[in-house]
Structure formats: C-alpha cells, structure tokens
Structure 1
Amino acid sequence: MPLLSTRGRRTAAAAVLAAAFVASAGCADFDSQQSTADQGTFSEVPSEMYRPQAPTAPESPDDQGGDPPTGPCVDPNPSVIATCLDQTAGVRPADAQGKTTYVAERVTGKIILSKRYGPQRAVATVPVDGSGDGGLVDFELSPTWLEDQMIFALITTPSDNRVVRIAPSGSVKPILTGIPKGATGNMGSIAFTGPDTLTVATGDAGDPGAAQDRSSLAGKIFEINPNQPAPKPDVLASGLGSNVALCRDPDNGQMYVTDSGRAGDRLSLVTQKSLKTLWTWADRPGLTGCATGTDTISVAVGAKKRIDVFTKPDSANPVLTEPTADDVSKTYGAVGRMTTFGGAFQLATINKTLPGMKTESFDDRVAVHVPQGGSEDRT
C-alpha cells in the first residue's frame, strides 16, 4: 500500500518547460518575513480536517438571474468562473460544488477568490520574486481553514524557495527556508495529506545533480509538520525535474506527480520512499499539471494545448494504456494547474505565460471541466 494512501481526508499540480516562463518580478519586501522567523509557531491545529464550504461573497448577476454583464473580462463560456487573471499557478475549489475558486497569481503574489461574473478579491498577498518561473508557486488552505483562516504557500524569494504561512492579518511567517532556487526549475506543489502533514514537491532549480543529492531539497517530495518549529523534512522521493505538480486521489489518498526532467516527461505514483513511473512522453511536450477524477487521471500538456486522460490503474489493470487526448485548445488554450472536486476539476489557463500564445481579453481564466474519457472502458 503506498505511503500516503491512508493519510488525510480532504478532497483537494509542471508549467511547460521552465525556461518558457516570462521573467517578470513582483516588488517585495522580504525583511518582514525574516523578522518573524524567531517569534515561534502559531497555535497547533486541531485534528479535524477542513470541509469546503461556500465563502461569503456578494451575489453575482448569474445568481440573481439577471442579464450577464458585458465588457472585456466577460467570457461567455458558462464553465468559466474567473477571468482577467495575471499568470496563474495553484488553484483550489472554494466550495464543494466548484462554483467558486481560489487561484494564485504567480508573479503578483496574490491569491484571488472568484466566482462567475465576479466579484473578485485578493484574500492574501505575499511578497515574491516572480522572475523566471518563480513566484507564488502553490498554496493550500489550512486543514482548519474555517477556524483559523491560515494559508500555506510555496514561494520564491530573491535567495531561496520556501514554505510560508500567511495569517488572516496578512503577516507572512517562514516555515521552511533554504529550498534551492534557480533561474528555472522553481515550480513545485504542496498538499495537505494529514491534519499535521504537508507534502511538498520541489523542482530541481535547474540542477539535475541536486535533485539526486539527498542532502539537497531540490527535486524532492518530502513531508513536514508545518506547525512545529524548524520542521525536519522526511524525504519520500528524489530525482524530480522541473514543473513539478502533485495530484492526490481523494478516494484512496494515493499521490501522483508529474514532472519534466532528466528522466523525461512522466507521470509517477508516489510509493514508499520512491517513485513508480506510470507513463512517459517520448516527445517531451512539457507537462503543466494533473488532477484525478473518479476513474481517471488527467495530465495537462500546456504547449500542446491538450489534456491527456488515463483510466486509473487498479489491481486488475495496474499498467496504464494509451491516454485519450482531450483537446482544450479552442476552448481554453493552454492549461496549467488543475485541482479535483467530485468527478470534475478546476483548471487554470497559462496563456499569458507561454511565449507566442494567442490571448483573449479575458485571459487568464479558471474553469470547471469534466475529463473527456479515459484510456479504456471498464464498465
């Protein structure tokens, strides 16, 4: 049984080749982060895991049954729930039905709460270095979000990549610092896999050798208790490349990961202290995210503007077969991070990130999407 299969109960992604990201840094003051490093931890979190509930927000015209608004930020596609975003990174559903979303803007350091036709508001802003493919890389709500309103984030600073905790007041506390930073290979992923277990996946910071070095936190998947002072990482897997994205199966807790590196573009299962490669892409198209559905694993292939959909492996069919290509190019363009809710997922577009991409006035966006098919029919 995989190490993570029994951990956590929460229904909870690698942008195309890291060098393709637009270099654009956000302004930041990191002194305030460092000044809180010796102030101690926040209070311990209870063991009850977060249950998504609809956030309080004014009604949109869609709720009221009135005429839809007009303007450059209105996408007529009824599946789109956020528009006119800066370059996107992590995304999380903000309610059980997926009608609202939290989405990270990688370069601005903002976490945006949005629903169809708005309104949109920044629930948190963290100083980041958004150059290369760094910035606000990913985020997670506290397992007890409804009680403490804490947000955890994987971010890039001028000196490192780090895990931080953002309080409701907006103050930012470093939790784990010193994760290697590079001109590329900063895109990673985080996910709560237990009440006090945060699983972190990091890119190789442009150094494949560091990803193989057990003394380095580059190119690793590891666990920390983010509520302990100076948490010690427990390394689960090494050798990851760039654009690393985690996707957790909400049904059985199994953790999948996509990355692009020395071993190729691959989808892997996180097993006990290692990775089991399930599929590789010989043409190295650049993987940008993943999500699990009821019977499927979906992998975003950003530059190809498609999502490859596999039927989940099981004991009777442990080997993946050829995926079904879900062409999203005409609807969304390029897709980056994705996140699961129920049998569907939310996807964030990265049309502003990829050079040469055609963008619309309402890009970038978050939309609700149902995976189209799998690699075989097991009915």
Structure 2
Amino acid sequence: MGRAVAGGAAALLLVTGCSSGTDPGTGTRTEAPTGTTAPAPSSPSSPTSAPPAATGSVRVVRTLTEGLRSPWGLVELPGGALLVSSRDERTVTRIDARTGRQASLGEVPGVVPGGEGGLLGLAHRDGWLYAYLTAADDNRIVRMRYGGGPGDRLGAPEPVLTGIPKGVIHNGGRIAFGPDGMLYAGTGETGRTGLAQDRSSLGGKILRMTPEGRPAPGNPFPDSVVLSYGHRNVQGLAWDDRGRLWAGEFGQNTWDELNLIAPGGNYGWPVVEGRAGRAGFTDPVAQWPTDQASPSGIAYAKGAIWLAGLRGERLWRVPVPGPGAGAGERSGTPKAFLQGAYGRLRTVVATAGGSGLWLVTSETDTRGTPEPGDDRVLRLEVG
C-alpha cells in the first residue's frame, strides 16, 4: 500500500480505528481516524492553518525537506537551522528551517559505511559538531569545528573517544549532551552478546563523558566512561524535564524496550529481554513486540517520550512516570501515531522550546521501500 507523504495539514493517524481513502493528487492511499476526513495535501514547505493538536496528540504540519539519502542523525542549531547526517554517503547537510533549502557541508573523513554502520548520530555544542561514526577498525566519536552559519564549513575531525566495538549490525550511534553538560552515547554489542555484560568493553553500553572524552565526574565505575550496561543496541537518548535519562533499545525476537537509566544499572541483555522481574536486572518502563517498534530515535516533549519506530513504522507516545519514579517503574499507556503513513521512522528530535518535534524518515537505508520524495524531514506539532 502506498504511503501518504504530502506535507501540510496531515491528519492525525492512529493505530486503531482508521478508515482509508485515496489522495486524488498522488494516487497514494491515506488514513484518517474513523469518522474524519483526511485534509487535502498542501505545499511541502507551507505550514498548516489547521487548529492546534489536542492534548496528548501529534500532527504533521509540514514537510520541511525531502530527497535525503540514508539520513540518520539530526541536530537543531541554536539559530534554528538543522544538520542531518547521511549514514551511507558520509555527508552532513545543513537545512534551512524556514525554506527547507539544503546545503552540503561535505563528507566527514574516516567514515567507513557498511551494514548498520557509517556516519550516525550528531550533537552540537560550543562551536563544535560531534559525530558518532564507524571507522576502519572501530566506532568512535569525533568533533569538528563548526560555527553554524550559512557559509560555515566543517573543520577537520578530532577524536573524542575511540575503541567502541564495531560490527555489521548493532553499532548504536546516538550521542547527545545532557543537562549536566556531559556527552552521552548509546552503543551496541555488535552481535557479540557477551560484550553487553562485560564492563571493560564499550559495547552494549550507555557512556557518559566530558566533552573531551574523559570519564565524567560521578560516573559509577572508577576511571570509566560506562554509565549503564546490559544493553543490546541503544539508539535513542532523551532527558525529561526532571533531568532523568531515557533510552530506547532494540530487542531481538520478543521485546523492544524503553528504559529509565540509573547510573550503574544492568539492563539485562543477553540474560533477559524485556520485563523479567529478576534480581540484579532493571526492567524496562515500557516494552513492545519487535514488529511494532524497533525504536530508533527518541525525544521528550509535553510530558511524554516520543519514540520513532523503524520496523513498526509508527511514532509512539509514552507518558512518563511521575517525580518519584525510579528505574523499573511502569509508564502510562503507550499510544501510536502515523502508522505506515511515512514508512520507516529513524530519528525524532524535540524542537527548541519543546513545543514540537522534527521527524526523519528512513526508507533509503536499504531496508525500506523508497517512494518519490524519500527521505524527508517532517515538522510535527505536539498537543
């Protein structure tokens, strides 16, 4: 079935209770909640004039840009422009947040794409662009001087942290600066499951370090950048408005996970997958069958974690537990949006101020089914 990919006033799409129709302009099928009619598509770069989204909902208001190839990481610069990485093409592209115009910043040297590896997550701070990438012998984090202006170029990459295990699969790749000013990274166990429980390995972990790559003050293990372990493949990191760290994680055959991270916590892999209630392991806050999620990027906005699903091809909203909740607590009831409307969803990032979301599709990553215009960056309004 074709995907409704027009920007503008796209209807809210729910997992259940949907009816179908055909977009007369494109011939692709559209879905809308039962009892509603999907509005006509508008220009990809035009904002919608539809009423605000209802509380606990999300709505696509525009397609900012399209025609991207294997997009992976996304970061919003202080001035509002976006940077997006291409996993397979090894490039960084600057996107004007008003017009959607793309400007290539060139290739990042040293990237060796292959399988699930390549140029992955991005982060920006104090005039540096940080990138998580797959090199010839490892996964690593580098940083490049970048001012952020329309004519600025990337400087030469400088290593921040090297020696993260690499593989054809499970390379992790998300990086983000936390509210404490430290740099965090989610890694994978590269298919070698034993690495996840080995605290001397950087694989299958969440890492916390200074901006220069040294172990951050207060880390749970002496002289180590490891914050938590027992992870299979972490590809989403986000903080709520209380400063708590959340992580999305790929399961194997049974359960994908959303975890609330505690320093020194053991999240079970490969001993357990999903909720097990076993002493010594921290259960996920929420879990899904693997065909409903395959969680990639996550973001926090309006009291909930938003989780982009690759295989599940939907955007999940998960209300987070209250102030007294700790690791292993249950979430509110997850709710899904945009099911199948835009295909595989790779990255979701909260807009400056947290009033909305940027959402990146992932149909050109060799596992999707590209249609004209793929891949794209969407602007979402959160209710």
After TM superposition, is the score higher than 0.5?
yes
1:358 to 353, 369, 378: 369
Q: Shift of the alpha carbon at 1:288? A: 2.0
Q: Which runs of 5+ in 2 are unaligned?
A: 1-43, 47-59, 147-153, 217-222, 268-281
Partner in structure 2 of residue 338 of structure 1: 348
Partner in structure 1 of residue 94 of structure 2: 113
Q: Shift of the alpha carbon at 1:119? A: 2.4
Q: Shift of the alpha carbon at 1:329? A: 2.2
Partner in structure 2 of residue 36 of structure 1: none
2:145 to 144, 159, 167: 167
- Please tell me whether residue 314 in structure 1 is matched to residue 322 in structure 2: yes
Amino acid at match of 1:265: D
Amino acid at match of 2:108: V
Moved more, 302-311 or 154-163: 302-311
Equivalent runs, 1:269-308 vs 2, <5 Å: 269-274=260-265, 275=267, 276=282, 277-283=284-290, 285=292, 286-308=294-316
Structure 1: how far apart are the matches of 2:65 and 2:172? Answer: 22
Partner in structure 2 of residue 259 of structure 1: 249
Structure 2: how far apart are the matches of 1:62 and 1:257? Answer: 32
Structure 2: how far apart are the matches of 1:190 and 1:228? Answer: 12
Equivalent runs, 1:181-260 vs 2, <5 Å: 181-193=166-178, 197-227=182-212, 233-242=224-233, 244-249=235-240, 251-260=241-250
Structure 2: how far apart are the matches of 1:314 and 1:91? Answer: 29
Q: Shift of the alpha carbon at 1:319? A: 2.5
Amino acid at match of 1:110: T
Partner in structure 2 of residue 28 of structure 1: none
User: Contact 1:175 / 1:230 at 8 angstroms: preserved in 2?
Assistant: no
Equivalent runs, 1:90-169 vs 2, <5 Å: 90-94=73-77, 100-115=81-96, 117-123=99-105, 125-127=107-109, 128-142=111-125, 144=126, 149-168=127-146
Structure 1: how far apart are the matches of 2:160 and 2:249? Answer: 25
Structure 2: how far apart are the matches of 1:370 and 1:313? Answer: 22
Q: Shift of the alpha carbon at 1:157? A: 0.7
Q: Shift of the alpha carbon at 1:270? A: 0.9
Structure 2: how far apart are the matches of 1:315 and 1:192? Answer: 22
Structure 1: how far apart are the matches of 2:366 and 2:45? Answer: 31
Structure 1: how far apart are the matches of 2:213 and 2:165? Answer: 21
Structure 1: how far apart are the matches of 2:213 and 2:115? Answer: 31
Partner in structure 2 of residue 180 of structure 1: 165
Amino acid at match of 1:209: G
CA 1:107/1:301 → structure 2, altered by over 3 Å: closer, same or farther? same
The two structures have a TM-score, normalised by structure 1, of 0.69
Partner in structure 1 of residue 271 of structure 2: none
Higher relative helix content: 1
Structure 1: how far apart are the matches of 2:137 and 2:76? Answer: 31
Amino acid at match of 2:298: C
After superposition, give the CA deviation of every residue in 1:74-94 in whole Å (9 maximum; x if it has no partner).
xxx851112111101111223
Amino acid at match of 2:84: V
Amino acid at match of 2:230: G
Q: Shift of the alpha carbon at 1:151? A: 0.8
Please state whether the residue corresponding to 2:371 is helix, strand or coil: coil
CA 1:161/1:154 → structure 2, altered by over 3 Å: closer, same or farther? same
> How many corresponding residue pairs?
289
Please state whether the residue corresponding to 2:250 is helix, strand or coil: strand
Q: Shift of the alpha carbon at 1:359? A: 2.1
